[in-house]
Amino acid sequence: MPVVLIKARRFEDDRGWFTETYNQRAFHDLGVDVSFCQDNHSLSRPVGTLRGLHFQTPPHAQAKLVRCIRGSIWDVAVDVRKGSPTYGEWTAATLSAENGHQLFVPAGFLHGFVTLEPDTEVTYKVSDFYAPECDGGIAWNDPDLALPWPLPEGGPSLSPKDGKLPRLAEFDSPFPYDGRPLTPVSAS
């Protein structure tokens, strides 16, 4: 399954706008054929709050459908599927309350984001329940990934857990390659 940037159509009038944020049939047509079972919601107060790079391993691997409902984020997905020709490569998009875009991140990809505005709220659907024994991550600043995080001058605000994650070189991926290499998402 690919990483997909979803640009929902908004119907606007003088009162505001309406949009569908999830439609199983429409998402299936985009190649997103996943059943979601849990919704998560985060608030990040300071600009530069970095959450990631996270994953959940099988048998509780999670696909995610991420959207920003207040403020904005730089959202990134990194391919960590064993045997993938794009292993360690990434794609990213800016998600904001203003643009209404969503990023679908399949299982087998690291996921992370950094906030670009204060008091940013992010919601995301996941395809499996949280399983602490399967929870993991890779260092946000791994030089082998060289992610160009758009950080404030003082650097990121991190959780203690995210500040201690290992490098990708230390990770033995349990995620199988599905035959579809990572393709960059189109921001336009």
* C-alpha gyration radius of the chain: 16
Distance of CA 186 to CAs 35, 60, 78, 139, Å? Answer: 24, 29, 16, 25
87 carries an active-site annotation: no
Q: Choosing from 41, 60, 87, 124, which is the catalytic residue?
A: 124
- Residue 130 annotated to the active site: no
Name which of 8, 186, 187, 188 is nearest 97 in CA terms.
8
Q: Which of 22, 41, 54, 60 is catalytic?
A: 54
Catalytic positions, please?
A: 54, 124
